[in-house]
Amino acid sequence: MMRKSIVCIAFVFASQMFAEIQNDNFESEKVYRFEEIESTKDNLQIQGSSQTPTNKGEADKTSGRLFTLAELLEGAKKNYNLEAKELAILQAQAVNRAAYGEFLPTLDGAYQYQDTDNPSMRLKAHTSSAKANWEIFSGFKTYNKVREKGSLYRASIEDKEHTKDQLFLNIIEQYYGYFTNHAQLLSLEQKRTQLESNIRRVERLYNAGLTTIDDVESLRAEVLATEHEIANIKMEIEKNKFMLSLLSQSEVEALERKTIKTPLFKLDENRHDLNMLNFQAQSAKYQARQINYLPIVSVSDTYVINSDITKNGSLAFKDLPPGMSANDMLPMIQRSFPLNQNQIMISATIHLDALTIYRQNEAARLGYMKSLKELAYKKEEQKKDERMYRKSLEIAVAKIKASEAALRSANIAFDNVAKKYDAQILNFTDYLQSLTKKVEAEATYNQALNNYEMQKAYYIYYSGQDLAQHIE
C-alpha cells in the first residue's frame, strides 16, 4: 500500500511538472525570435522567481519587502561612487569657470609703510597703490585653456554616466545570480526531502530484513552531502543580497523577479565611455595648442598714492652737507615721493626658449594622438562586442530550448526510475543518479532563463543603449 502511495505521489509530481512546461514552444529557426521567447517564458514556472509570502504578516516576518530590479536601480542612484562622481563634475565645472576668468582684467592693491633712519635724515612714509592689468592677447593660450577645461568638464559628466551604467550592470548580474542560486536551492531542498523520505522507507525495509545496511548509510551520506550543497548555495544567496544592498544603498532581504525588455539590434556610438574618451582627446588637443611661440601682449595701469612727507613730522633732517639746508633737500626728496602718480604701460613678451617649447608641444601632440588611438580602438571594440552579444542572445535562446528538453527528459526518466526503484527492480545507485540528473536539469533550465536576461543586459550595455529604459 505504501509503495502504491509513493508511486502516486511521484506520478502527481511529474504530471504537475509536465503541465508547467508543456506550453513552451520555441521556434526551431537558426535565429530565434526573442519576442516569442518573452511571451512563452511568462507561461513557464521559474523556480525561485520570487519569494512572495501568502500574506502581509508573513512577508514582514520572513523576507520583508520584495525589491524589484527597477527599485534596485533607482536606489543605486544614491550610491557613494555616483555621489563622488557628481562632486567631480562640480569640481571640473568650477575649474572651467575659473578659466573663463582669465579673459578679464586683474586688479591688485598694495599698501607699504617705510621708516628710514640714516645719519642724514629720518623719514616715515605711507604708500598705497592699485594696479589693473589686462592681458589683451595671450597667444590664444587663454582661449585654448578654456576649451581644454570645458572638455574635461564634459568628460566628467560622461564619466559619471559610464559609472552609473557599470553600477546598473553589476546590480543586474547580482540580481539574476540571486535567482539562479535560489532556484538551485529549491531543487536541492526537494532532493533532500525525497532522500529523507526514502531513508525512512529503506530503514523499514532494513528492519524487516529486506535490504542491507549499505543502502541506509548511502542514503544518509547523500543527505549530508546535499545539506552541505544547500549550505554553500545559501551562502552564495547571502553574498548576492549583500552586494545588492551595497550597490543599491538598500537593505535587501527578498527580491521579485522581473524581466528585461528585448533590445533593438542597433549600435549607438554615443556610449558614455566613448564620449568620455572623445572629450579627453579634445582636452589633450587644446592643451597642445597652448604651447606656442606667439607673444603675450598686456596693458597695465598703476596708480600710486604717497603720504605728504612735509606734514606731521614725517621728515626730519639730521646732519646735512656743508652749504645745504633743509629747504634745499626737501624738493629733491619730494620728487621721489610724489603725492600721487599714474603709470600706463603696454608690454609684449615672447619666450625664446625654442627647444623647450618644441619638446613640450611635441609631448602634448603625442598625448593627443594617443588619445585618438585609444578612442578608435574602443569604437572597434564596441562593434565587436555588439556582434558578439547579438550572437550570445541567439545562443541563450537555443540554450533555453535545449535545457527545457533536457528537463522534460530528466523528469520522465526519474518518474520511470522511481517506479522501478519502489518495485525494487533498480538499486539505490540508479535511483540516486536519476534524482541528481533531475535536480541538475532543473538548475540548468533556470540558469538558462536567467542567463538570457543577462545576455540582454550585456547587449544593451555594450551596444550603447540605456539600461534603465529597458527595465520593467
Q: 426-456 pLDDT, tens per residue?
A: 877 788 888 889 988 998 999 999 999 999 9
Q: Under a CB-based contact definition with an 8 Å cutoff, are residues 372 and 446 in contact?
A: no
324 and 370 in a single domain? The answer is no
- Tell the residue number behind the cell numbers 530484513, with chain if given: 209
Per-residue pLDDT, averaged over 259-266, amounts to 92
Per-residue pLDDT, averaged over 39-67, amounts to 46
> Above 70 in pLDDT, residue 38?
no
Closest CA to 50 of 230, 186, 254: 254
86 and 116 in a single domain? The answer is no
371 and 272 in a single domain? The answer is yes
335 and 442 in a single domain? The answer is no
Does any domain span residue 390? yes
Does any domain span residue 101? no
Of residues 59 and 262, more confidence is placed in 262
Predicted local distance difference test score (pLDDT) of residue 321? 67
110 and 204 in a single domain? The answer is no
Does any domain span residue 289? no
186 and 43 in a single domain? The answer is yes
pLDDT band at 21 (very low <50, low <70, confident <90, very high): very low
Q: Under a CB-based contact definition with an 8 Å cutoff, are residues 346 and 378 in contact?
A: no
Does any domain span residue 98? no
pLDDT > 90 in the chain, percent:
54
What phi, psi does 346 have (nearest 5°)? -115, 130
**Number of domains the chain is built from:** 2
> Above 80 in pLDDT, residue 401?
yes
pLDDT > 70 in the chain, percent:
83
User: Under 8 Å CB-to-CB from 128, ≥6 apart: which residues?
Assistant: 109, 110, 111, 112, 304, 305
28 and 111 in a single domain? The answer is no
Q: Choose one of 330, 349, 368: the last residue of a domain.
A: 349
pLDDT band at 22 (very low <50, low <70, confident <90, very high): very low
279 and 300 in a single domain? The answer is no
What's the CATH code of the domain at 338? 2.20.200
pLDDT band at 14 (very low <50, low <70, confident <90, very high): very low
The answer to which of 78-82, 255-259, 317-321, 336-340 has the lowest mean pLDDT is 317-321
Does any domain span residue 465? yes
What DSSP state is assigned to residue 46? Answer: P
57 and 130 in a single domain? The answer is no
pLDDT band at 31 (very low <50, low <70, confident <90, very high): very low
244 and 269 in a single domain? The answer is yes
**What pLDDT, in 10s, does the model give residues 113-151?**
888 777 777 778 888 999 999 999 988 999 999 999 999
d(CA 348, CA 295): 6
Predicted local distance difference test score (pLDDT) of residue 231? 96
Predicted local distance difference test score (pLDDT) of residue 55? 38
Q: Choose one of 311, 328, 349: the last residue of a domain.
A: 349
Predicted local distance difference test score (pLDDT) of residue 320? 67
Q: Which residues of 358-395 are buried (b: 16+ CB within 10 A; e: fewer)?
A: eeebeebbebbeebbeebeebbeebeebbeebbebbbe
**What pLDDT, in 10s, does the model give residues 209-242?**
766 777 778 888 888 999 999 999 999 999 999 9
> Above 90 in pLDDT, residue 166?
yes
Predicted local distance difference test score (pLDDT) of residue 1? 40
What's the CATH code of the domain at 379? 1.20.1600.10
55 and 79 in a single domain? The answer is yes
Q: Choose one of 349, 373, 390: the last residue of a domain.
A: 349
Per-residue pLDDT, averaged over 76-104, amounts to 94
Does any domain span residue 308? yes
Does any domain span residue 15? yes
Does any domain span residue 443? yes
pLDDT band at 163 (very low <50, low <70, confident <90, very high): very high
Closest CA to 435 of 171, 193, 140, 136: 193
Per-residue pLDDT, averaged over 199-208, amounts to 78
Per-residue pLDDT, averaged over 44-49, amounts to 43
Threshold 0.85, pTM exceeds? no
List the domain range (segments joined by +) for residue 243.
2-93+147-283+357-470
The answer to which of 28-37, 180-189, 449-458 has the lowest mean pLDDT is 28-37
153 and 246 in a single domain? The answer is yes
Predicted local distance difference test score (pLDDT) of residue 324? 66
